Structure 1
Amino acid sequence: MRTVFFYIRTRRYGCFFCWAVWALLLGIAMPTAAQVPDTTVTPSAQPLAVVQDSGYVIVRNVAVSGNKKTRTSIILRELPIKPGDTVYLRTLAETLEAGRKQLLNTSLFLNVSANVKNWEGQQADFVYEVWERWYLFAFPIFKLADRNFNQWWVEQKRSLNRVNIGVKAFQDNLTGRNDDIYADVTVGYTQKFLLGYNLPYIDRKLRQGLGFVVSYSRNREINYISDFNKQQFFRQDDFLRRQFALGLNYTYRKAISTRHQVALNYYHESVNDSVALKNPDYLGGGRTEMGYLELSYRLNYIKADSWQYPLVGQSLYAEATRTGFGPLSGLEYFKFRVKGAKYWELARKTYGALSVLGQAKFSDKQPYIGMRAMGYGDDYLRGLEYYVVDATSYFIFKSTLRRELLNFKVHLPIVPKKFSNLPIRVLAKAYGDMGYGYARRVRNGMLNNRMLYTTGVGLDVVSFYDTCIRFEYSINQLGEKGLFLHAKLDM
């Protein structure tokens, strides 16, 4: 295995940019089992010569089978073909596969097969058979309170005091309309109650939806400030922080790939007096409580082979948010956020991906809780998991090269037949990230207001519902190296 690094030095930043190219990925060609999930496409029940001579087929009916819980109208709404459509034979297999993948992207089904039946002249029926998954889940919660596994394992020394335990329950597809209700009750590091419901379609045309979420949480320990790009924590026996949130959202989805959402959220934050004494800027101006209203518009566009673990396609997310209205103006700012990603198949079983994320917040003078930027949630550079960059504006660029190594199924005994085959895909990857975070005021921020670079190699293990476990060995511009474990998609 040979790794080539390109170093670029600039007088302005005094940093280097590491770009790793894993040449071996382009040369590996391993035999694999059937693709996950299986593809079943039967384009014709007529003699092949007859079909080829016709040139096209007219969709007489679109039929669905196998759905016991999901309403047929919900399934038909996701398909790109309708009765009366004309499909050219040269694109027939592609059209069937696009509909099959779109149904899998709803996360309602374990598998889908697509067939063309009942050929009569130039007309035929398109039939989709679905295998529904389990929709009701209730399971115990064992969740780390820290930002990622490595921070908990290394910096917090695997402390069980920093773990949340509880119960999570959710019923997907509650009424057969792809709606879901969910609830969390946790104790431990954070005591929290959460209840939410989403109904994607409330009209006959299946375009408009509504949802709500309400939550209350409290903590005895609080991240009250950052120093040298490290979170600093303060703990007492009394509860130091309490947060209440109530949110309502309206969605509009006319087509398949694009979704619009308007959300109105109310937040109320309160902290103990000792927090305001240690950092008067935590809520700003030495305050111990505040409430604020937030109004957001969000645009989601995705056209990819998989919405959960895309390898081919593109996606776009855009958000405009106004926080602070009248008396509910504990926080005040305008925020603009854009994230775009492009995914390619470069060669057989070899995939490339690029993504860019940018956020700007006005004004740039915010209290500490309004400065959360890189290192929180999914906004981080691979290789800088131990650090945070508090900022009002920032961008992150990521590039990844993936190569599929294995694709197989494992038979699980005892469990019901339709769940007994566990699909597993293993992909090797090389990656390089860069980013920049701007802050008007910093506290010993060695990573603020400067270009940041990281690179590395790793493995992704993908299974049911496109769940992904990532093993990554990264190096950052500080010269620090490490093995990192994640359980979410990296871009």
Structure 2
Amino acid sequence: MRNLQRFLFLLLLPVAAAVHGQPGPEPVKDTGYLVVRRIIIEGNIKTRTSIILRELSTVPGDTIYLRDLALTLEDRRKQLLNLSLFLNVTANVKNWRGNEADLVFDVLERWYVIPFPIFKLADRNFNQWWVAEHHAFNRVNLGLKVTQSNLTGRADRASLGVQLGYTQKLLFSYNLPYIDKRYHNGLGFNFSFSRNREINDSTDFNKQLFYKSRDFIEHQYIAGIVYSYRKAIRARHQVMLNFYHEDLADSVATQHPGYLGQGRSRVNYLELAYQFTYIDADSWKYPLRGRQYQFLLSRRGIPPLDDISDWQVRAKAVRYWQLGRRTFGALGVRGQGMLPEQQPYINIRALGYNDDFLRGLEYYVVDGTSFALAQSTFRYEAWNFNVHLPIVPGKFNRVPFRILLKAYGDMGYVYNKFPGNGMLNNRMLYTAGAGVDIVSFYDTCLRVEYSINQLGQKGLFLHTKIDM
């Protein structure tokens, strides 16, 4: 009971602070204003000026009150940084003439071609690999992925990857965010092929079990196309059509007939999905102020390619607050629902997979068709500094670091009509802990967390993605 009270305190702390926090300063009563004459972009060599202007919600002719000028420039500067095309952006006002002036944005472009070596763990997280799998090197994926994040200067992204090791994979993708002159419509496509000698074929007491072989026992092909519509800055609509082909060794299908369902060793199906995303935050990669929402509706199985058949709904909402000069709070909820309730094993992965997990339950998975997850985090920015690299070329020799201390609490629930011996299914789950986030450029984040779960288990966990 005491642990539950502590968890609820952590969960509600950001909300209480936001509601009862000190009121902000009174607005400055300034009737002065400026009219934007021109918007000037400087420093862009690769990126087209039209792409940069499209991301600004200010256009020539707009009126900005002087009392709002500093906040407006900072907001527009962050809008450009959210493109993930620039290391830094500065905003200034120049050429004042009466009430008219120019807004000038000076951008510092990134390296856009990045050959990135692949060192990826086959397991769900670092701790699962290091502790449960005894950091076995044969459970590591090695390879090379080359990404061009601004191929033609229109923020279009192309990726080609070759991966060897635990999972052998070949992948290619291309996304062009705007294909029309109004910069509203986008198009992309992707293809991947993978094969494995080992698969997670079942679960026992919320622990993954694996089927191993000397030969490749699973082959998977995925091909898809994505249409996107983005009229304004914050909202994006996407329609995705994907084709899946999965081929399983007969020996696996015989021993585990529920893996693909009905004892099948091969399935083909189409997936049609719609996704809506809304982000109104200071940063799209590591937000501290603002909000974001996401909704997904998908149909897997469209005749005649309907070996897998289900409806799935997913939703996510996160709110971020600045509570003080260096303190921040975040509260997020997400969930999933799926019908029908009886599904092949590959379709019942709920909590513990990808980004859907409770901090402190990294060693467990909770299978089911539906789940709900709530997470709360309190952060304090302890340090913010730059490290100078003397050998690196001038514009890349400053590496920014932000170090934030945090406390957090999570709560979740997974529904499974056929839970088997799952001790964490169909019951309320809760965890809590404290940690450190280390944030740098190129959207990198290292999380070091010490967590405790409702089973009384404690541990130190490492992650490389933002927690909500």
* Pairing 1:81-160 to 2, within 5 Å after superposition: 81-160=58-137
Aligned partner of 1:437 in structure 2 is 414
Give 1:59's match in structure 2, choosing from 36, 52, 58: 36
Q: What amino acid maps onto 2:429 in structure 1?
A: L
Residue 263 (structure 1) aligned with residue 249 (structure 2): no
Q: What amino acid maps onto 1:295 in structure 2?
A: L
Aligned partner of 1:389 in structure 2 is 366
CA distance in 2, matches of 1:423, 1:83: 33
In percent, how many aligned pairs have the same letter?
59
Residue 350 (structure 1) aligned with residue 327 (structure 2): yes
Summarize deviations over 1:261-280 as a string: whole Å, max 9, x none: 00000001111112112211
Summarize deviations over 1:414-446 as a string: whole Å, max 9, x none: 111111011001000000000000011123100
CA distance in 2, matches of 1:18, 1:473: 18
3-state secondary structure, aligned to 2:367: coil
Summarize deviations over 1:82-107 as a string: whole Å, max 9, x none: 00000001100111111100000000
Give 1:415's match in structure 2, choosing from 384, 392, 396: 392
Aligned partner of 2:259 in structure 1 is 282
CA distance in 2, matches of 1:202, 1:68: 21
Aligned partner of 1:76 in structure 2 is 53
Q: How many residue pairs are counted as aligned between the two chains? A: 454
Residue 207 (structure 1) aligned with residue 184 (structure 2): yes
Q: What amino acid maps onto 2:167 in structure 1?
A: T
Summarize deviations over 1:337-387 as a string: whole Å, max 9, x none: 100000000011000000000110011110100101110000000000000
Decide whether the 8 Å contact of 1:402 with 1:430 is kept in 2: yes
CA apart distance, 1:142: 1.1
3-state secondary structure, aligned to 1:202: coil
3-state secondary structure, aligned to 1:203: coil
CA distance in 2, matches of 1:355, 1:17: 15
| Structure 2 CA distance for partners of 1:399 and 1:124, relative to 1, 3 Å | same
Aligned partner of 2:433 in structure 1 is 456
Aligned partner of 1:401 in structure 2 is 378
* Pairing 1:177-196 to 2, within 5 Å after superposition: 177-196=154-173
The CA RMSD measured in Å over matched residues stands at: 1.7
Decide whether the 8 Å contact of 1:54 with 1:122 is kept in 2: no
CA distance in 1, matches of 2:7, 2:418: 26
Q: What 5-or-longer segments of structure 2 have no aligned partner?
A: 14-28
Give 2:143's match in structure 1, choosing from 143, 166, 170: 166
Aligned partner of 2:216 in structure 1 is 239
Decide whether the 8 Å contact of 2:90 with 2:105 is kept in 1: yes
Decide whether the 8 Å contact of 1:144 with 1:163 is kept in 2: yes
Q: TM-score scaled by structure 1? A: 0.90
| Structure 2 CA distance for partners of 1:88 and 1:270, relative to 1, 3 Å | same
Q: TM-score scaled by structure 2? A: 0.95
Aligned partner of 1:338 in structure 2 is 315
CA distance in 2, matches of 1:330, 1:65: 54
CA apart distance, 1:218: 0.4
Aligned partner of 1:7 in structure 2 is 4
| Structure 2 CA distance for partners of 1:455 and 1:438, relative to 1, 3 Å | same
Residue 378 (structure 1) aligned with residue 364 (structure 2): no
Residue 469 (structure 1) aligned with residue 422 (structure 2): no
3-state secondary structure, aligned to 1:339: strand
| Structure 2 CA distance for partners of 1:19 and 1:232, relative to 1, 3 Å | farther
Q: What amino acid maps onto 2:144 in structure 1?
A: V
Summarize deviations over 1:162-188 as a string: whole Å, max 9, x none: 000111101111000000110110111
CA distance in 1, matches of 2:182, 2:238: 17
Residue 307 (structure 1) aligned with residue 284 (structure 2): yes
Summarize deviations over 1:453-490 as a string: whole Å, max 9, x none: 00000000000133110000000000000000000000
| Structure 2 CA distance for partners of 1:5 and 1:207, relative to 1, 3 Å | farther
Q: What amino acid maps onto 2:412 in structure 1?
A: G
3-state secondary structure, aligned to 2:308: strand
3-state secondary structure, aligned to 2:40: strand
CA distance in 1, matches of 2:125, 2:251: 27
Decide whether the 8 Å contact of 1:338 with 1:357 is kept in 2: yes
CA distance in 2, matches of 1:64, 1:316: 31
